[in-house]
Structure 1
Amino acid sequence: MHARSPPAHQRSNPHESRAPRGRTTDCLRPRRRFKTKAEAVRFESLVRQRLVQDAEWNPKPKDKRRLSELVDRWFDLHGHTLSDGVRRKEILQTLAKELRDPLGRELTGNQVNELRRKQIEKGVAGKTLNNRLGYLKAVFNELYQLGEIEYRNPLERVRPIKLQERALSFLSLEEIAVLLEALDARDGSPHPPIIARVCLATGARWGEVEGLDPALVRNSTVTFANTKSKRTRTIPINAELEKALKAHLARHGHFTHCMETFRRVLRATKLNVPQGQASHILRHTFASHFIMNGGNILTLQKILGHTSLTMTMRYAHLSPDHLQDAVRLNPLDQT
């Protein structure tokens, strides 16, 4: 028997959408209408672009670059702009090799801590190890900041070694005289004696004086442009030193690298200088005598070019009245 056709008023409109068998109308694709074809094409392009960018639909492959490759990439993107970038890259590549060059994303803090323990047993200084950790952290932080890696720094919870603070060493007036006499007496490069004198008079680093532009010695001042903080510093000097410095530069031209010569002379004098300080003892000597002679700690901060007063406060204990209230106000002297 054939089923009878429904009445005409109950028949569905042939132009209306029908749901496929087994599906409800809620599962149908939403449709949009556009006034022009160009508008529809633009909308289609936007949807396709969003689908490509959506990690849920198109996940990125996992980063399989090794630590040494990340170091190279860091240097190409950022490290080359640093004054010590080449040296730092060499240190980082050595560190990657010692860590057996793991995948960057799989490096763990425990791997670094285990290597650090072995290096401590070999006698590597704690400050050196802290510097290396800082360099390694900086690679991941910079690459993450630049969007080069999508994962955070795997070493962010690794803490540096807590070091015992050491008292700063400096040369006495008698020791300064011995050192300058030894520099004046040696043959060879003419630069170390005058560089040492400028360091003692201004608190500048040896490298800052070596890179001094002769044109920036003027009006009884010296301006250092090649500083560690990338900020210029202008320091007054006396007329006698200015005259000697100008005469030296006019005769010999720009300073050349001669720090190793200074180190050899310093060792030969047998002065009591802590290991690792070398030319930096001149900077400490300037700062120490500046404070001992009543200089202001904030003025010293500007002269040395410290961005943080914390660094300059290391010399505060040398001030004649530093913490003298401890003598005046202690309970023993009041009994």
Structure 2
Amino acid sequence: MAIHQLPDGRWKVDVEPIKGKRFRKTFKTKGEALRFESTCRSKMIVDADWSPRPKDKRRLSELVKLWYEMHGVALSDGLRRFAILKAAAEFMGDPIASKVDGAAIATVRARWLALGVTGKTANNRLGYLKSVYNELHKLDVLDFPCPFTRIKPIRLQERPLAYLTKPQIAELLGALRNRDTAPHTYMVAVICLSTGARWGEAQALTPERIGAGVITFANTKSKRVRAVPVAPALVESIQAHWREHGPFSNCIGVFRKVLLETSIKPPKGQSSHILRHTFAAHFIMGGGHIVTLKEILGHASLSMTMRYAHLAPEHLHDAIRLGPLAGSGLMP
């Protein structure tokens, strides 16, 4: 029976309106018990949250596809992430997404590292997988949050940022200028060295983004438009270049090839950004303010720009001047 009287006179409700959803409670009177039973049955009909939901048996690859269709398609690098996520799901054996937990992710990450995947790449893949769960949960596609939020990314050793000296800049620009088959490469490199722009930002410039002494970058990583003052001579050179050769083409591959042909040997993974680092390093070494550099580079936070702070002439000198032993005569 759903309702029955106990030996002590109280009334017990034991009702299961839908299999898997059972309610038990004891009341002093039969009327209270009847009302509770009626409420439980009606709630199962009216309120969907009271009804047991079927187990989510969708595979990880299905969630990846949904993530791309509902969120990733709007990202500038959505297709690239989609390809990485599909490969990750396949590598993991395409498990049931709801059963992927921290232990499973840690095991997969260990396999990636054993195969030679770098810590940074492994961290990126982990972040992309978390995004699949988090975004679909926000969109009410999943009724559970990311099940492996507590697994932390690998702590990476910070690498010093390489930059070119003035003789190296002259060598590189000379090599690029002599490459007649790729005239755009030289001009894009000059823009990067003059503004600290990323290669893709400089390469995507169009005539309407160059004004009187200012270049405006709109296709930025942070999605924010930023304007950088430049010498009028540079503006004239760019405009003359476009009149002769037309708009910039994709020439990063030529730049990397020419760079390898010079005596310059940048650290692995820094060749495409070495001109940006060079601008930032020379700006700081010349006495430029770190906050101004942040605005020029378009960094979202000052912590990114602080990577160049050690190059400032006065960097950390206050540690000597203002330390507790300064002027005390107690220094050994």
* Normalised TM-score (structure 2): 0.84
**Helix, strand or coil at the partner of 1:83:** coil
For the Cα contact (< 8 Å) 2:57–2:96, is it kept in 1? yes
Match of 1:264 among 233, 253, 257: 257
Count of matched residue pairs: 296
What is the alpha-carbon distance in structure 2 between the residues aligned to residue 158 and residue 75 of structure 1?
24
Query: Structure 1 residues 50, 201: closer, same or farther in 2, change over 3 A?
Result: farther
> Which residue in the other structure is 1:314 paired with?
307
Instruction: Note the C-alpha offset of 1:329.
Output: 4.5
For the Cα contact (< 8 Å) 2:320–2:326, is it kept in 1? no
For the Cα contact (< 8 Å) 2:193–2:275, is it kept in 1? yes
> Which residue in the other structure is 1:51 paired with?
45
2:128 is equivalent to residue 120 of structure 1: no
**Helix, strand or coil at the partner of 1:218:** coil
Instruction: Note the C-alpha offset of 1:324.
Output: 0.4
Match of 2:165 among 172, 195, 204: 172
Instruction: Note the C-alpha offset of 1:296.
Output: 0.4
> Which residue in the other structure is 2:223 paired with?
230
> Which residue in the other structure is 2:94 paired with?
101
* Higher normalized strand content (fraction of residues): 2
Query: Structure 1 residues 123, 50: closer, same or farther in 2, change over 3 A?
Result: same
2:249 is equivalent to residue 246 of structure 1: no
**Helix, strand or coil at the partner of 1:55:** helix
Instruction: Note the C-alpha offset of 1:328.
Output: 2.9
Instruction: Note the C-alpha offset of 1:55.
Output: 2.9
What is the alpha-carbon distance in structure 2 between the residues aligned to residue 134 and residue 28 of structure 1?
51
Identity among equivalent positions (%) equals 49
Query: Structure 1 residues 135, 26: closer, same or farther in 2, change over 3 A?
Result: closer
Instruction: Note the C-alpha offset of 1:116.
Output: 1.5
Give CA deviations for 1:57-80 in whole Å, capped at 9, x if unaligned: x32222211111101100111101
> Which residue in the other structure is 2:276 paired with?
283
In structure 2, what residue type is equivalent to 1:208?
Answer: E
Give CA deviations for 1:227-269 in whole Å, capped at 9, x if unaligned: 1111101001101111001111233332111111111111111
What is the alpha-carbon distance in structure 2 between the residues aligned to residue 233 and residue 311 of structure 1?
17
Query: Structure 1 residues 49, 298: closer, same or farther in 2, change over 3 A?
Result: same
Give CA deviations for 1:2-47 in whole Å, capped at 9, x if unaligned: xxxxxxxxxxxxxxxxxxxxx96666679xxxxxxxxxxxxxxxx9
Give CA deviations for 1:176-225 in whole Å, capped at 9, x if unaligned: 11110111111322211000000000000000111112111111110001
What is the alpha-carbon distance in structure 1 between the residues aligned to residue 321 and residue 30 of structure 2?
91
For the Cα contact (< 8 Å) 2:134–2:145, is it kept in 1? yes
> Which residue in the other structure is 2:71 paired with?
78
* Normalised TM-score (structure 1): 0.83
Instruction: Note the C-alpha offset of 1:160.
Output: 0.4
Give CA deviations for 1:98-147 in whole Å, capped at 9, x if unaligned: 11111111001111211211222222211111111111111111111111
Q: Which runs of 5+ in 2 are unaligned?
A: 1-28
Q: Which runs of 5+ in 1 are unaligned?
A: 1-22, 31-46
